[in-house]
Amino acid sequence: MQRIQVMNRNDVAHRPVFVAELLSFLRPRDGRDYADCTCGHGHFAERLAQCLGSNGRLLCLDISKQAVAASSERLARFGSRCVVLRASYVDLGDVAARAGLGPFAGIIVDAGCLSREQLMDPALGLSFMVDGELDMRLSPDLPGPTARELIATLSARELAHLFREAGESARAARTIASAIDRARSQTPVTRTTQLARIVEEAVDAAGLRRGTRHPATRVFLGLRNTVTQELPALAEGIRASVSCLRERGRLCVLSYFGTEHALVRQTLRDLERGCTCPPAMPVCRCGKQSLVRHIVRRPLLPSAREVAANESARSARLHVVERTTAPM
């Protein structure tokens, strides 16, 4: 059995993915406005800001209080050219209007939206690689149940469904949920590494371990998605971002797992689709126009070189669209 190695939060610095590709697609130019809607600790925002010139402006958003503080510090040297605010990308239009920014020549939405620093912060309880309370809220003042509360209150069937939604196989999801149910009947499951051990032992006992990915990966992903409600907000955030683009402005979206990939693809296809009238109808009556066009038809995968240098890039996909002239 391969036991989990608990990591110190400072062991590995965050490395943003697809940096060269994002800069190439966003085409940062002086005098234009750009937005990083999930800036985390500002690692990519810093690279983008360096390319904007003296008159380019960058709006950075994050819902985490700690991330906003870290980004503000990282980007302070750019002065008023970088505006860092605590907000959700769902509210991008209103936030940008109040800040006097936009329409944007380029927007990035990183659906993973977690920096390495956040993942390694024991106070957030996001990772099985560092011991901490099972919380998973990106800030302690945010509403909603914690991961600890989900583990304590959801039935085994509900837990299995949650893990399936995160991409776990049906058999493994049921096995893991049953193991958690048995464990919590003996003692409360409140720690990240405690949950990881339960999952690992259950998967190994059932002979279900596959590949090199830790068996708790999708379990933690499913819990985090439920706590943060990332998926319901993602489609809305993409639409909000498209509405804030200038003509020929570009939106880059990073996704990281199957359900997320599918949601991003479907949302962008819906925005690209024009008239939905029946083919036999001689004149369009629906009035629907294509709001974006794909710059790359298939999402880009990270290169082998990037994955070798940054393991967190292995599941990333980059989707890129460009705004048309059609009104929103």
pLDDT tens by residue, 91-148 = 999 999 999 999 999 999 998 656 677 788 888 888 998 999 999 998 888 887 999 9
Residue 2 has pLDDT above 60, yes or no: no
Distances (CA, A) of 74 to 56, 240, 320: 17, 26, 27
The pTM assigned to this predicted structure is: 0.85
Confidence class for position 213, pLDDT limits 50, 70, 90: confident
The predicted model gives 180-193 an average pLDDT of 97
Walk me through the domains of the chain, giving residue ranges and CATH numbers.
Answer: 19-110+230-323 (3.40.50.150), 140-228 (1.10.150.170)
Give tens-digit pLDDT for 261-308.
999 999 999 999 987 888 777 788 777 889 999 999 899 999 999 888
Sheet with 104-110, strands from edge to edge, namely 82-86, 57-62, 33-36, 104-110, 245-255, 317-323, 292-294
Structure-token pair, residue 105 = 């020549």
The predicted model gives 179-189 an average pLDDT of 97
- Between CA 135 and CA 114 the distance in angstroms is 15
C-alpha 25, offset from chain centre: 19
* DSSP classification of residue 85: E
* DSSP classification of residue 128: T
